[in-house]
Amino acid sequence: MEFSTIDIQNMEQRYRARFINSLSGFKSVGLVGTVDSKGLDNLAIFSSAFHLGADPALLGLIVRPDSVPRHTLSNILDVGEYSFNHIHKSFIKKAHQCSARYDKLESEFDMVGLNREYKNGMKAPFVKESQLKLYLKYREHHELKINGTILIIGEVLYVKFSEDYLREDGSIDIEKAQSVTTSGLDTYHSTSQVMRLSYAKPDKELKEL
Amino acid sequence: MEFSTIDIQNMEQRYRARFINSLSGFKSVGLVGTVDSKGLDNLAIFSSAFHLGADPALLGLIVRPDSVPRHTLSNILDVGEYSFNHIHKSFIKKAHQCSARYDKLESEFDMVGLNREYKNGMKAPFVKESQLKLYLKYREHHELKINGTILIIGEVLYVKFSEDYLREDGSIDIEKAQSVTTSGLDTYHSTSQVMRLSYAKPDKELKEL
């Protein structure tokens, strides 16, 4: 079936949100841990994380200023640091519940029942239950005037995961870590590796690794 | 195991690329079809597509100017339109092969053996084999000075997929479409739905949909 611009414009608002959110494919999802200058912390679910570069090591996040993660944005701008924590099958419901509109004084850690983990010299909390966690330093943000969303760019300062997940070539087996992916607004998926492929060159056959 | 900024900086370049590319989680992946003003087409694999908004319906893509998709960027800026095609288990190798550095005069469609599909009034080609395809109009781009990458923002003008995949609430079952996801630089995964969850509210228990 086919949908034109007019079909999309005529969709009911929530219907359109579900439809359009499905189009980009499976998404990177994680919990972003932040703290404000008074020490109040916050945990928000993001399904818009993306790789921006390896040297320096940069991660991008998209924030809608009118949506739930607004505390995340102000905390990142205040304190300049945040954590990014993979989500696993064992705590999908708790992670999803972080998208509820809690009051600023209520920490999602307490509300959903996830545990804080702290590291020396790092202000923002990690999610203890997460098997792959990063710590980032805020580098810059861009307001995308087209719809008022904000792109936050952070530099990876620290990474923690079980050594079982590291392959010899530097890649991390995030499927072994049982990290999940999402589609649309509400669906969580586990993964099954189909194949790893060699670096592609013209006139050279790909090898399965 | 733990990695600090210094550990990351000391990694060998390709090792670091594999490591850092694994951190953001599972990625949205698709083939971007473009054409230049002379009619030469191009097909490039992107693992950095992300949802930017539902109204208007916007998709973001990250391009590294020094990487293979450079023809994609110049074609998008020239012609102002492009397609985004989901990748499925049946043609992962052909899709991955699109990342080889072919000459501008060689179309990846011919080189890897994927078929073009055209729609009336749309200049750029779709991938015939893709089960979920979008057509986008270029809206704006931003150079991210921090590392020279470019964010391309496009508006969704057209969507095509089998009606089997559309759920009553507007969401699309991209797992049923057998769309794949990637991790790191070289690994492709199929998915298994774990759960769909209701919209989260404070003091309300989540329901599985």
For residue range B12-33, what is the model confidence (pLDDT) as tens digits?
Answer: 999 999 999 999 999 999 999 9
What is the token pair recorded at A153? 């760019």
Name which of A28, A189, A182 is nearest B193 in CA terms: A189
Reply yes or no on whether the pLDDT at B168 is more than 90: yes
State the pLDDT at residue B69: 60
State the pLDDT at residue A104: 87
Kindly list the residues from chain B whose CB atom is less than 8 angstroms away from the CB atom of residue A164. none
pLDDT in tens, A99-137: 999 998 999 999 999 999 999 999 999 999 999 999 999
pLDDT in tens, B46-69: 999 999 999 999 999 999 876 656
B120 close to A (CB below 8 A): no
Reply yes or no on whether the pLDDT at A151 is more than 70: yes
- A190 and B185 within 8 Å at the Cβ level: the answer is no
Find the radius of gyration of the CA atoms of chain A.
18
Kindly list the residues from chain B whose CB atom is less than 8 angstroms away from the CB atom of residue A71. none
Q: Report how far residue A163's alpha carbon sits from residue A149's, in angstroms, rounded to the nearest whole number.
A: 37
What is the token pair recorded at B106? 């060689």
Interface test with B, best of A16, A21, A28, A182 (most B CBs within 10 A): A28
High-pLDDT (> 90) share of chain B, %: 94
Q: Which residues contact A163 (CB under 8 A, 6 or more apart)?
A: B1
Q: What is the mean pLDDT of chain B?
A: 96
Residues 162-191 of B with CB under 8 A from A: 162-163, 166-167, 169-172, 174-175, 179-181, 183-191
Peptide bond into A56 cis (omega under 30): yes
Reply yes or no on whether the pLDDT at B145 is more than 70: yes
B67 close to A (CB below 8 A): no
pTM of the entire predicted model: 0.96
Name which of B124, B145, B142, B149 is nearest B134 in CA terms: B124
What is the token pair recorded at B41? 């087409």
DSSP single-letter state for residue A53 = E
B13 close to A (CB below 8 A): yes
Length reported for chain B: 209
Mean pLDDT calculated for residue range B173-201: 97
Kindly list the residues from chain B whose CB atom is less than 8 angstroms away from the CB atom of residue A60. 62
Q: Report how far residue A104's alpha carbon sits from residue A127's, in angstroms, rounded to the nearest whole number.
A: 19
DSSP state string for A138-168: EEEEEEETTTTEEEEEEEEEEEEE-GGGB-T
Kindly list the residues from chain B whose CB atom is less than 8 angstroms away from the CB atom of residue A84. 23
Name which of B113, B58, B119, B46 is nearest B86 in CA terms: B46
- Kindly report the three-state secondary structure assignment for every residue of B49-86: CEEEEECCEEEEEEECCCCCCHHHHHHHHHHCEEEEEE
Report whether A81 contacts A139 (CB < 8 A).
no
Mean pLDDT calculated for residue range B28-47: 97
Our CA-based measurement puts residue A170 at a distance from the nearest CA of chain B, in whole angstroms, of: 5
Residue B23: what residue type? L
A110 close to B (CB below 8 A): no
Report whether B123 contacts B81 (CB < 8 A).
yes
Q: End-to-end CA distance of chain A, in Å?
A: 37
Mean pLDDT calculated for residue range A25-43: 97
Please report the sign of the dihedral spanned by the C-alpha atoms of residue B113, residue B49, residue A56, residue A59: negative
Identify any residues that bridge with A116 across adjacent strands, giving them in sequence order.
Answer: A127
State the pLDDT at residue B67: 64
Q: Report how far residue B25's alpha carbon sits from residue A95's, in angstroms, rounded to the nearest whole number.
A: 15
Reply yes or no on whether the pLDDT at A65 is more than 80: no
Q: What is the mean pLDDT of chain A?
A: 96
Reply yes or no on whether the pLDDT at A62 is more than 90: yes
Our CA-based measurement puts residue A52 at a distance from the nearest CA of chain B, in whole angstroms, of: 7
ipTM over 0.90: yes
What is the token pair recorded at B25? 């989680």
State the pLDDT at residue B104: 87
Report whether A143 contacts A150 (CB < 8 A).
yes
Considering only residues A68 and A139, tell me which one the structure prediction assigns the higher pLDDT.
A139
Q: Which residue of B has its CA nearest to A163?
A: B1
State the pLDDT at residue A50: 97
